[in-house]
Amino acid sequence: MTLAARPAFDRALWESDCWARLEQRQADADRAFVYGVVSTGIYCRPGCPSRLPRRENVRFFADAAAARRAGFRACLRCDPDGASRAEREAALVAKAVALIESAEGRPAFDAIARSCGMSRHHFHRMFKAATSMTPGSYFAAIKKRRALDSLGQGESVTTAIAAAGYGSPSRFYEGVADLGARPRALSRGGAGEHIRFTVAACSLGFVLVAATQKGICAIELGDGADALAADFRRRFARACLAEDAAFSQAVADVVTLVEEPSRAFALPLDVRGTVFQEKIWRLLREIPPGETMTYGELAAKAGCPSAVRAVARACASNAIAVAIPCHRVVGKGGTLTGYRWGVERKAALLKREGR
């Protein structure tokens, strides 16, 4: 096997790209390089707020250590040796998320902003850029999750609504209109809900397909039919489970999709998640068969380039395999990172799509 020769590093091209990114003050360039200014002897981040120097006075370095070896000293304004702006903002967002999640009742967003050393407007903008949600929307998603968790544990609807922090039942019902299952039914393990499910064999092992009256709510892959079925029955212990000819056809369509993941899938889906998760799942369905996207690229497409981990968690929370193609998201350099139903299945699906 003959390996292709690695292309030679073109420093002039690299420096031209660095200068273009410096001119645009691209925040994501802070990790890519630093630049030194000959006239001052100082090196800075690309996002430094100082005045743009003349091009002939600029030298580019891959990292701060290289700039120091060349005799430059660190800028006191942008602190290129410390955490980048993106890293500092990520830490502040993590702090804000912890405060929001631990608040009893509605969080005091002004106080949270002050604890992060920001105005409410700046805090709101930073939080949305990182999570693709406003602080208020994030808190609404937390309330919804808390209420659904309580319902799933058998709490009454009234108790779950009060414990989650809803001011009135109407607010709760507005927030969960897309559940596919009624809240009271969820509080009784799916009691009263008609959920059809079955397990079928496929070339990747076994596939469980489940559907509510709204559409397919789960496509799960596994090694054993009994284990898949047992887990589903545990989650919907009191649901009315049924099989009919129409659903058998839907299962056949899902098995065909597993065998040929590049085929169009026209069956309706009953998607359940937070606002952020559902946004990521919609974007996943826009990735064409045979193509892949990194978690970073998906985060950027969602409008939150710094929320790579949140995007990865949203992919991992997807319960509808193949139809919502989270298998098309890969790590840097095309590496096959974790997959809810096994990396081997992820590789097989991508191979079937011609990648």
Q: CB-hemisphere CA count at 13 Å for 130?
A: 22
Distance CA 45, CA 82 (A): 10
Q: Which one is catalytic: 18, 44, 116, 304?
A: 44
48 is in an annotated binding site: yes
DSSP state letter for 9: P
Distance CA 127, CA 200 (A): 43
Kindly tell me the number of DSSP H helices and DSSP E strands found in the chain: 15, 10
Q: Which one is catalytic: 116, 304, 315, 326?
A: 326
Residue matched to tokens 């040796």? 81
| Coil vs helix vs strand at 197 | strand
Residue (of 263, 267, 333, 273) closest to 297 by Cα position: 333
Query: Annotated catalytic, 202?
Result: no
Distance CA 141, CA 133 (A): 10
44 is in an annotated binding site: yes
C-alpha dist (Å) from residue 208 to 39, 186, 220, 293: 67, 20, 5, 26
Query: Annotated catalytic, 44?
Result: yes
78 is in an annotated binding site: yes
Residue (of 45, 11, 54) closest to 25 by Cα position: 45
User: Can you say which residues are annotated as belonging to the binding site for Zn(2+)?
Assistant: 44, 48, 75, 78
Catalytic residues: 44, 326
User: Can you say which residues are annotated as belonging to the binding site?
Assistant: 44, 48, 75, 78
